[in-house]
């Protein structure tokens, strides 16, 4: 099943049936019994997504206490600096959040995170219209939800409209793909075309029924026949752009709908900056495993655990609690709130008026 905007014809996906059936009621998995990196309980739903595809442009996201909660309890600021285990995918129609188990610099917490904007690898090719429209293995896709024993994924297209398509496939289609083949040079010197009237109708054969309609884009033309041109397009995974999920297609369009165009530019640097958050000074360490609370003041709900030995940047002290931030802040408290631990579980910091060349206090080993 493929769903496109209502103004576009539906495209029917034809893919193999899935052997990993999802239960009708998805059980809650206690984080204490499912720490990141450890085996998950046998009752965990069988359709577990692989590790998220993270690039330097991956944005952060909030973490909620439940699938339906309206207020966040934490925020993953730097997905590349945290280990995240995703599970309990939503059924279509439910709030589009999945369960996450997060580990970062000694902080471990569980919750629910939105799937929008998160990309996961596709283990194998997913046919939308067999031989003509497909999502290639190695492509990064969003997870929309599950239906029965299948998972619905969304991939971006190279068109102005529709910007994405959705396909229903088996759960085991998700996962790391085999090593990608080298880029083919077959399309390096072919002419390119673009839509001349806005809309283009893709067909399996010259004059055949319309498979997919789209607007704009520049595509290689590899053949002509009886008033039709054969075009191919998309970003196959072997181009190495795993953060750009697109649909690949191969079909025929009327020459009345296209005109000659220049090949698209290859330089697609997004310009994303890598944030410099490196702490250069030694920070106090947590003395023992201690629960983490979140709130504008101490006494909020417990959201996770801070492991003994973790380095933290301490903040305000209130009574027997102290606020803290993680070094380099890969995971933070939501706006207006803080993470808190028991002050007795935090080791002494280094305090000295004598500083080194980095501006850090000079302290003896013991203080």
- pLDDT tens readout for residues 313-331: 999 999 999 999 998 889 9
What is 192-261's CATH superfamily?
A: SH3 Domains (2.30.30.40)
The beta strand positions in 157-226, using DSSP E, are: 164-170, 192-195, 199-203, 210-215, 218-225
H/E stretch holding 292: strand 290-295
pTM above 0.85, yes or no: no
Q: Which two tokens stand for residue 92?
A: 């279509």
Hey, what's the torsion of the CAs at 98, 33, 334, 76, to 10 degrees? -60
Hey, is 345 helix, strand or coil? Answer: helix
Q: Is the pLDDT of residue 257 over 60?
A: yes
Residue ranges of the domains in the chain? 192-261
pLDDT top residue among 283 and 189: 283
Residues 15-52: b if buried by 16+ CB within 10 A, e if exposed: beebeeebeeebeebebeebbbeeebeeebbebbbeeb
Q: What pLDDT does residue 305 have? A: 94
Q: Is the pLDDT of residue 210 over 50?
A: yes
CB-CB neighbours of 137 under 10 Å: 20
Average pLDDT over the chain, rounded to whole?
A: 75
Q: What is the DSSP string of 77-134?
A: S-GGGSEEEEE-PPBTTS-SEEEEEEEETTEEEEEEEE-TT--EEBSS-EEEETTTEE
126-135, 200-209, 235-244, 321-330: range with lowest mean pLDDT? 235-244
The percentage of residues in the chain with a pLDDT greater than 70, rounded to a whole number, is 69
124-128, 289-293, 299-303, 332-336: range with lowest mean pLDDT? 124-128
- Rounded-to-integer distance, Cα 16 and Cα 118, Å: 25
CB-CB neighbours of 182 under 10 Å: 6
CB neighbours of 339 closer than 8 A, spacing ≥ 6?
74, 107, 292, 293, 294, 323, 324, 325, 332, 333
CB-CB neighbours of 113 under 10 Å: 23
Q: Is the pLDDT of residue 255 over 50?
A: yes
User: Is residue 148 very low, low, confident or very high in pLDDT (cuts 50, 70, 90)?
Assistant: confident
- Rounded-to-integer distance, Cα 76 and Cα 80, Å: 10
CB neighbours of 251 closer than 8 A, spacing ≥ 6?
132, 133, 202, 203, 204, 211, 212, 230, 231
What pLDDT, in 10s, does the model give residues 9-42? Answer: 332 232 222 222 222 232 222 223 223 333 333 3
The bridge status of strand 72-76 relative to strand 61-64 is: antiparallel
Output DSSP code: residue 364.
Answer: -
Residues 64-79: b if buried by 16+ CB within 10 A, e if exposed: bbebeeeebbbbbbbb
């Amino acid at each position: 099943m493929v769903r496109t905007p209502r103004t576009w014809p539906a495209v029917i996906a034809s893919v193999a049936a899935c052997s990993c059936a999802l239960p009708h009621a998805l059980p809650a998995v206690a984080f204490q019994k499912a720490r990141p990196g450890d085996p998950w309980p046998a009752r965990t739903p069988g359709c577990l997504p692989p590790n998220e595809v993270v690039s330097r442009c991956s944005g952060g996201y909030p973490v909620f206490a439940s699938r339906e909660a309206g207020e966040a309890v934490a925020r993953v600021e730097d997905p590349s600096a945290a280990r995240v285990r995703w599970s309990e995918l939503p059924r279509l129609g439910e709030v589009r959040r999945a369960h996450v188990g997060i580990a970062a610099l000694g902080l471990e917490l569980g919750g629910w995170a939105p799937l929008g904007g998160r990309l996961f690898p596709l283990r194998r090719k997913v046919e939308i219209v067999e031989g003509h429209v497909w999502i290639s293995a190695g492509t990064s896709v969003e997870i929309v939800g599950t239906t029965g024993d299948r998972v619905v994924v969304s991939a971006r297209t190279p068109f102005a409209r529709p910007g994405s398509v959705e396909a229903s496939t088996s759960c085991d289609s998700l996962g790391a793909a085999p090593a990608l083949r080298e880029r083919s040079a077959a399309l390096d010197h072919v002419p390119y075309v673009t839509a001349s009237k806005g809309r283009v109708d893709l067909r399996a054969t010259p004059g055949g029924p319309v498979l997919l309609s789209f607007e704009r884009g520049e595509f290689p033309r590899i053949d002509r026949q009886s008033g039709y041109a054969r075009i191919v397009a998309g970003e196959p995974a072997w181009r190495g752009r795993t953060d750009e999920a697109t649909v690949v297609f191969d079909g025929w369009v009327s020459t009345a709908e296209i005109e000659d165009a220049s090949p698209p530019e290859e330089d697609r640097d997004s310009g994303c900056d890598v944030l410099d958050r490196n702490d250069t000074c030694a920070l106090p360490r947590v003395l023992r495993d201690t629960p983490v609370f979140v709130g504008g003041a101490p006494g909020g709900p417990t959201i996770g655990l801070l492991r003994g030995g973790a380095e933290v940047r301490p903040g305000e002290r209130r009574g027997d609690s102290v606020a803290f931030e993680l070094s380099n802040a890969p995971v933070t408290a939501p706006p207006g709130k803080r993470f808190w631990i028991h002050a007795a579980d935090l080791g002494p910091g280094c305090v000295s008026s004598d500083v080194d060349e980095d501006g850090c206090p000079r302290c003896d080993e013991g203080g």
